[in-house]
């Protein structure tokens, strides 16, 4: 893979990582505080939502680091070596952890008494969004798991070819 493309993609991942860090430190807590100012009954659910959002963003950051590691290996032309499996395992773990956060949010929204300033549609949207997000994250984790199996086979076949040649 072209070093310019790898560098560009790694730079984008670094920007996304830093953007996630900014969101964790400033945006998420400030937005939660603003929502509580606008509708004080939200104070009772503020902490679980803030923690969930920060942990979910952390999962995305770990995924960005894993993708950066795989991109580095692509740039070095070492993708089909066993070290790539480690980065793939980290990516699968980050996606699965994100799915767990979304599943927890789904369960929390299902059973918690969440106040609503209007007709409850925002709670319904959060409930449905967390359900769909959980299913999507599980699907992506399974797809990457299948990709890891393909990578494992490719590494084994490359090792066999190197022994023959």
Per-residue pLDDT of the chain (165 residues; tens, 9 = 90+): 788 999 999 999 999 999 999 999 999 999 999 999 999 999 999 999 999 999 999 999 999 999 999 999 999 999 999 999 999 999 999 999 999 999 999 999 999 999 988 888 899 999 999 999 999 999 999 999 999 999 999 999 998 988 887
User: How far apart (Å, rounded) are the C-alpha atoms in residues 123 and 116?
Assistant: 7
Write down the pLDDT at residue 134: 98
Write down the pLDDT at residue 159: 87
CA nearest to 50, candidates 62, 32, 37, 23: 32
Burial of 153 (0-12, 13-18, 19+ CB in 10 A): exposed
Query: How many Å separate Cα 60 from the centre of its chain?
Result: 3
Task: Compute the radius of gyration of the chain from its Cα atoms.
Answer: 20
User: How far apart (Å, rounded) are the C-alpha atoms in residues 139 and 145?
Assistant: 10
User: How far apart (Å, rounded) are the C-alpha atoms in residues 48 and 42?
Assistant: 11
- Angle at which helices 43-75 and 83-111 pack, to 10 degrees? 160
Write down the pLDDT at residue 92: 98
Range of 120's domain? 3-164
Task: Please say whether the beta carbons of 90 and 66 come within 8 A.
Answer: yes
CA-CA-CA-CA torsion sign (32, 33, 39, 44): positive
CA nearest to 86, candidates 109, 66, 102, 110: 66
**What domain count does the chain have?**
1
Write down the pLDDT at residue 150: 97
């Amino acid at each position: 893979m072209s070093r310019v493309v790898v560098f560009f993609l790694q730079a984008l991942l670094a920007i996304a990582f830093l953007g996630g860090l900014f969101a964790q430190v400033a945006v998420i807590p400030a937005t939660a505080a603003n929502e509580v100012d606008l509708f004080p009954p939200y104070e009772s659910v503020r902490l679980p939502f803030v923690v969930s959002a920060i942990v979910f963003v952390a999962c995305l950051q770990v995924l960005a680091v894993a993708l950066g590691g795989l991109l580095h290996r692509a740039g070095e032309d070492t993708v089909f070596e066993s070290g790539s499996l480690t980065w793939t395992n980290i990516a699968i773990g980050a996606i699965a952890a994100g799915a767990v956060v979304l599943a927890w949010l789904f369960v929390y929204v299902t059973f918690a008494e969440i106040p609503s300033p209007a007709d409850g549609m925002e709670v319904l949207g959060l409930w449905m969004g967390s359900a769909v997000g959980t299913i999507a994250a599980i699907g992506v984790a399974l797809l990457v798991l299948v990709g890891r199996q393909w990578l494992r086979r490719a590494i084994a076949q490359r090792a066999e070819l190197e022994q023959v040649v």
